[in-house]
Chains A and B, each alone.
Chain A
Amino acid sequence: MIQIKLFKKVGSFAENKDIARDIRLKKIIPALDKNQKVILDFEKIDAATQSFIHALISDLIRKYGNEVLDKISFKSCNETVKKIITIVIDYMQESN
């Protein structure tokens, strides 16, 4: 299992999609390929954009299928961040 603390990389407003993509490509995908579980830790993050969350996780759902969601957990999300993550996960599953 790996835990990725997002605040260190993106600050309190998670909006930089380039960083989101980097995290996905360099941290999340390698862990999933090793069959590890991934915890995305949103502690101290006040807000995130839909674009950021999309860049972070949408391709995982497309690449590994909806089952990948059993291997990813979202930790310490506030209400707004939870809703943005839910929107992205919903539309990606609807699109698959």
Chain B
Amino acid sequence: MLIPGIIKILKKTVSMKIHIPNSAFLGNIDPFLKGFNPSKPNELKITANKKWSSIHPVVLAMIAALGVKTKPSNIECEKLEAKSKHYLERMGLFKLLGIKSDIKITEHESSGRFIPLTQIKDSTELTEFLKELTPLLHLDAKHAETLRYIVSELVRNVLEHAVSKYGAIVCAQYYSKSNVVRVGIADTGIGIWKSINVSYDPKTDLDAIQLALTPGITGTTRREGGTEFNAGAGLFFIKSIATVNRDFFMIYSGKGMYKLLKRRGEKIKLHADPFKDRHSKRDDIPTWEGTVVGIDISLDTTQQFSTLLDLINQTYTEALKERKKERYKKPNFI
């Protein structure tokens, strides 16, 4: 059922559709992504599971990223019946989309454990956002350092490479039961393939994602060491943080989606090639015009940041050496 007067109903057929399912976290997000319908990008229809929706912040970030580039009058939102609808209100979804909802919420203590949907369009806004980030989630220094690092690098990636006037949409939530902070970041910019294609020649979106996650590869140049501003290290660092901490990490752009699965075993090994990590990937999902990143930060397994940096340095320099060696001229034996 759709609510006239509360959220404006479109007379014509709305085609870009996104359905908030019963459950969508990084481990089981694939059906949600497959169900997303990106046609008619100027119009957005949001529907939701009738009984209950328990979703990763990345789902909200995606909906909000689509919504901010759509006129409020072209957004159609089904009347939400699930008890969990308050979560969407509390996370600021309707406010960011510029549409009214009839959902009333009572602010209480737990409101300090999430970061509502926030649109970040420039460097100054990011710096301000980062100042608020850790106090709002009440994290200790070790966890705050990791979270701040991840959000800063991911949002800067959007600001520098996405070429989107809408910037980045970010939100995060602390889950006390699992002791995990889940973060979602989405943009509707040019996507990874176009960004990497400036200097490389990826055939598919998944090829481009693989390159973007490889240390020392940046779309801005083919030169080792990058440019004065970009090294091509940001996403590799973040994937490495997730690997070491046994966290989920997902990146989705175009038709490609790469998901780092939780590491098994005690031995920690970082790989320069993301496809050598324990992962799943798809190249058959509906096209996302832009980039979406979701990450879980498990507070129980978070390693000291400095331990992680030793491993990163080792893997990074090895990767550079290997690439350098590939370019060595070979002796011409006759």
- A interface residues (Cβ-Cβ under 8 A, vs B): 11, 13, 15-18, 21, 24, 46-47, 49-51, 54-55, 58-59, 62, 79-80, 83-84, 86-88, 90-92, 94-96
Q: When A87-B312, A91-B320 are in contact, do A13 and B237 touch as well, CB less than 8 Å?
A: no
Contact partner of A13 (CB less than 8 A), chosen from B148, B312, B321, is: B148
Cβ contact of B233, chosen from A13, A24, A50, cutoff 8 A: A50
- Chain A residues near B228 (CB-CB < 8 A): 21, 24, 55, 58-59, 62
**Are A54 and B130 within 8 A (Cβ)?**
no
Classify the secondary structure of A's interface with B. helix
Q: Is the CB of A49 within 8 A of B149?
A: yes
Nearest B residue to A78 via CB reads B306
Contact of B313 among A16, A24, A86 (CB under 8 A): A86
A58 and B309 contacting across the interface, CB-CB below 8 Å = no
Contact A87 B316 (CB under 8 A): yes
Verify A51–B153 contact, CB threshold 8 A: yes
Please tell me if the beta carbons of A95 and B224 are within 8 angstroms of each other in the complex: yes
Interface status of B116 (Cβ within 8 A of chain A):
no
Per-residue interface assignment for chain B, residues 116 to 132, with 1 indicating a CB less than 8 Å from any chain A CB and 0 otherwise:
00000001001100110
Between A and B, 7 residue pairs with Cβ closer than 8 Å are A15-B156, A16-B126, A50-B237, A51-B156, A87-B316, A94-B317, A95-B320
B189 at the interface (CB under 8 A from A): no
CA distance A11 to B153 in the complex (A): 17
A-B contact count (CB 8 A): 98
**Which B residues are in CB contact (< 8 Å) with A21?**
228-229
Q: Which residue of A lies closest to B309 (CB)?
A: A83
- A-contact 0/1 string along B294-334, CB 8 Å cutoff: 00000000000110011011001100110010000000000
- Set of chain A residues within 8 Å of B224, measured between Cβ atoms: 94-95
Q: B317 and A90: CB pair below 8 A? A: yes
- Cα–Cα distance between A16 and B126 once the two chains are bound (Å): 9
Kindly identify, within residues 111 to 149 of chain B, every residue whose CB is under 8 Å from any CB belonging to chain A.
Answer: 123, 126-127, 130-131, 141, 145, 148-149
Give Cα A88 to B216, complex, Å: 11
A49–B225 CB distance below 8 A: no
- The residue among A17, A54, A84, A90 with the most chain B CB atoms within 10 A of its own CB is A54
Chain B nearest Cβ from A93, distance in angstroms: 9
A91 to B237, CA, bound (A): 14
Q: Is the CB of B310 within 8 A of A91?
A: no
Q: Is the CB of A49 within 8 A of B152?
A: yes
Q: Complex Cα distance A46/B149, Å? A: 11
CA distance A88 to B231 in the complex (A): 9
Contact A94 B145 (CB under 8 A): no
CB distance from B5 to the nearest CB of A (A): 45
B216 touches A91 (CB 8 A): yes
CA of A79 to CA of B145, assembled, Å: 13
Query: B203-238: contact bitstring with A at CB < 8 Å (1 yes, 0 no)?
Result: 000000000000110000001111011110110010
B317 touches A91 (CB 8 A): yes
| Bound form: Cα–Cα A18–B228 in Å | 11
